[in-house]
Structure 1
Amino acid sequence: MEKNEIKLIVLDVDGVLTDGKLLIGSDGVEYKSFHVKDGMGISLARFHGIKIAMITGRKSESVHIRAKELRVDFLYEGITNKEEVLDEIVTTLNISLQNVFYMGDDINDLPVIKLVGFSAAPKDAADIVKRSVSFVSHFNGGNGAVREAIEIVLSYQVDYDVLVEKYLNETIRMTQ
């Protein structure tokens, strides 16, 4: 990966930002568990100027809420053709697919994984996906895998420690 290459991070949701379990209450409401470390990684990437997108095959109010909390730039739910959506996003941003990092966990993610400049998968992703990506996390989906991959991307582009220091200084300044 070349310096300053990644301009867009695209994430699958179920099995990447969550552990992949679907908790559906008797009232039909779907519940998901997100890891705060993944959220901090997304916040650091956004602070560095990287755009964030979530593309998922399911629709869930909890995903919508989490995306809003993290100020995700693009959220697409109920998507069967992730390639088409990715093409729309890169066209909107006027960037190359080589400037995209994608993280997915299952076979429906393979078409996008094969298109982008850098790809990753959680430790518990499908074997065929793990064989196809640039990086396999040491963590399972929903347990910090996104954070680890984002830290790698950021470390290639900037001095990570300096970025964290700037982030903390800006956060402290904004709260005063």
Structure 2
Amino acid sequence: MSSDVAQLKNPLAEIWSENLLTKAKHIKLVALDVDGVMSDGKIYFSAKGDELKGFNILDGLGLKQIMAAGITVAVITGRSSPLTEKRMQDLGISHLMQGREDKKIALEELAITLDIPPKAIAYMGDDLPDLPAIRYAGLGVTVPNGYWLVQEHADYCTQVNGGNGAVRELCDLLLTAGGHLGAALAPYLEP
């Protein structure tokens, strides 16, 4: 790795506490809500009734980077959507749990299946159905456009809103804490 890459430091690292970085260092599973986290929380319908939803491409690359660093990614959402299924397939995310309002129970099931303790799980959500999962996980994360009570209970609230790169911010936090940021960025800085 070149010295340029070794010296890279995400500017957000200035606001990340040692406690937050310690929690993030041990994460083996990231579970995400969709609406309000991976998207801006708005659902659009065409005149024909087709559902439309936007996903941020920054988040997608970040998720691929943490998966390459050995972190498992899962999605737990209360709604069922073919668009979500397609996006997760495109990203190579095989742990997709749709139609699950009981997100903590879904997360517990996944933790048992994957044999991952709660302290090694990060959960990112934005509204009340996410709150039990955020409180269960070793690292609870939310977004500034999330519900206030969720923000009160989360370990970290991203600087950017859901659907605008918030998931990428979490990915950078995990890569930084685990010492993988330089390796994730190195291919893009080669001469």
TM > 0.5 fold call: yes
Q: Distance in 2 between matches of 1:60 and 1:81?
A: 17
Q: Deviations along 1:111-144, whole A, 9 cap, x unmatched?
A: 0111111111111111111111111111011000
Compute the displacement of 1:154 (Å).
Answer: 1.6
* Cα pair 1:51 1:73 within 8 Å, conserved: no
> Corresponding residue for 1:83?
104
1:9 maps to a residue whose letter is V
The 5-angstrom pairing of residues 1-176 of structure 1 reads: 1-2=22-23, 4-165=25-186, 168=187
The TM-score with structure 1 as length reference comes to 0.90
Compute the displacement of 1:71 (Å).
Answer: 0.6
Compute the displacement of 1:86 (Å).
Answer: 0.8
* Cα pair 1:56 1:79 within 8 Å, conserved: yes
> Corresponding residue for 2:19?
none
Q: Deviations along 1:47-93, whole A, 9 cap, x unmatched?
A: 00111100001111110110000111300111111112111111111
Q: Deviations along 1:25-47, whole A, 9 cap, x unmatched?
A: 23222110000001111010110
Runs of at least 5 residues in structure 2 that lack an aligned partner in the other structure: 1-21
Runs of 4+ in 1 over 3 A off after TM superposition: none
* Secondary structure at the counterpart of residue 114 of structure 1: helix
RMSD: 1.6
* Secondary structure at the counterpart of residue 108 of structure 1: helix
Q: Distance in 1 between matches of 2:88 and 2:29?
A: 15
Instruction: Give the % identical residues.
Output: 35
> Corresponding residue for 2:6?
none
Runs of at least 5 residues in structure 1 that lack an aligned partner in the other structure: none
Q: Distance in 2 between matches of 1:47 and 1:130?
A: 29
Compute the displacement of 1:2 (Å).
Answer: 4.8
2:135 maps to a residue whose letter is K
Q: Distance in 2 between matches of 1:132 and 1:55?
A: 19
